Structure 1
Amino acid sequence: MLKNVNPLLNADVLYALRAMGHGDRLVLCDTNFPADSVARETVLGKLLRIDAVTTAEATRAILSAMPLDTFIPDAAMRMEIVGNPTEVPAVQKEVQAEIDKAEGKSWPLVPVERMAFYEIAKKSYCVIATGERRFYGCFMLTKGVIPPEVKY
């Protein structure tokens, strides 16, 4: 156990979050996402897990350590529902609330068509699977920067 580190952030996830640079993207997915096969195509090349939690809980843990990228409009993305791209299910509303809370403001959660989501995911830094069983609990988050402390 570490002080001031969310206990959901296991050693493998902490390593990935620390190793990622500005502009690197992670995928946070539900149990139905083809996590292992997609993860094999990512930069990290292996699947990471935060088991037995929802994607909202995993989002809270990740964003306790990782800032979102403020330089791009799609630093937070969600998978669109097939046949109903404007619908936002409860699982996505919960993640939206966690993002807004972590960033201290309303933050756009950009929709991405399902097949396009898979293709973007393959180019990400890593995939983190959760225990989320609700459909469309799949998201991508892009790492931002932490500014230097100014000392006078």
Structure 2
Amino acid sequence: MLKGISKLISPELLKILMEMGHGDEIVLADANFPAASHTQRLVRCDGHPIPELLEAIMQLFPLDEYVDHPAALMQVVPGDNVETPIWKRYHEILAPHTHVKEPFEEVERFAFYERAKKAYAIVATGESALYANLILKKGVIGDAEN
């Protein structure tokens, strides 16, 4: 344990966040996402819901301010009658950490899978909400933030 770092951030996840560079992406995957088959760097956070994990990560993780959308959501499949209230929660969590008015882009399901395969890592969570998958693009930290 360390001061100032959430107990939700495992040593493995902290290492991954530290290794990532500007423009690298990390996927926070819900419990239904095929995480193990889509990545070479898998971090297990089973049992943890994404919103709480996202809050902890955002205390450490700069979002990319040089792109229109530093975060991506898996688009609801057309015809799938599913509500996504978790997206509102994500917006509430990310809003204080970005100057971008609308930080999210919606990515078609299979395009999301392909993008996830290219991500630096996938964090497998216990999140049970449907369409709760989230991609974050890492930004930079300036001298004033060190």
Task: Please report how far the alpha carbon of residue 63 of structure 1 lies from its aligned counterpart in structure 2 after TM superposition.
Answer: 0.9
Alignment partner of 1:149: what SS?
helix
DSSP-derived class of the 2:113 partner: helix
Q: TM-score, normalised by structure 1?
A: 0.87
Q: Using a 3 Å threshold, how does the CA distance of structure 1 residues 108 and 84 change in structure 2: closer, same or farther?
A: farther
Query: Can you list the C-alpha shifts for 1:79-120, whole angstroms capped at 9, x where unaligned?
Result: 0000169x8611111112111133377442111110100001
TM-score (norm: length of structure 2): 0.90
In structure 2, stretches of 5+ residues that fail to align are: none
Output the amino acid matched with 1:16: I
RMSD: 1.9
Partner of 2:122: 127
Q: Does the 8 Å CA contact 2:69/2:102 hold for their aligned counterparts?
A: no
Any idea what SS the aligned residue of 1:16 has? helix
Count of residue pairs the alignment pairs up? 144
Q: Are the equivalent residues in 2 in contact too, given 1:55–1:91 (CA < 8 A)?
A: no
Instruction: Tell me if 1:74 matches 2:69.
Output: yes
- Measured after TM superposition, the shift of residue 129 of structure 1 is 1.0
Matches within 5 A, 1:3-82: 3-39=3-39, 45-82=40-77
Quote the sequence identity (%).
38
Conserved 8 A contact 1:6-1:61: yes
Structure 2 vs 1, CA of residues 131 and 4 (structure 1 numbering), >3 Å: closer, same or farther?
same
Equivalent position of 1:117 in the other structure: 112
- What is the Cα deviation at residue 7 of structure 1? 1.2
Q: Which amino acid aligns with 1:8?
A: L
1:139 aligned residue:
134
SS of 2:128's partner is coil
- Greater shift, 93-102 or 17-26, is seen at 93-102
Question: Which of 97, 100, 106 is the equivalent residue of 2:95?
Answer: 100
Which residue of 2 is the match for residue 42 of structure 1?
none
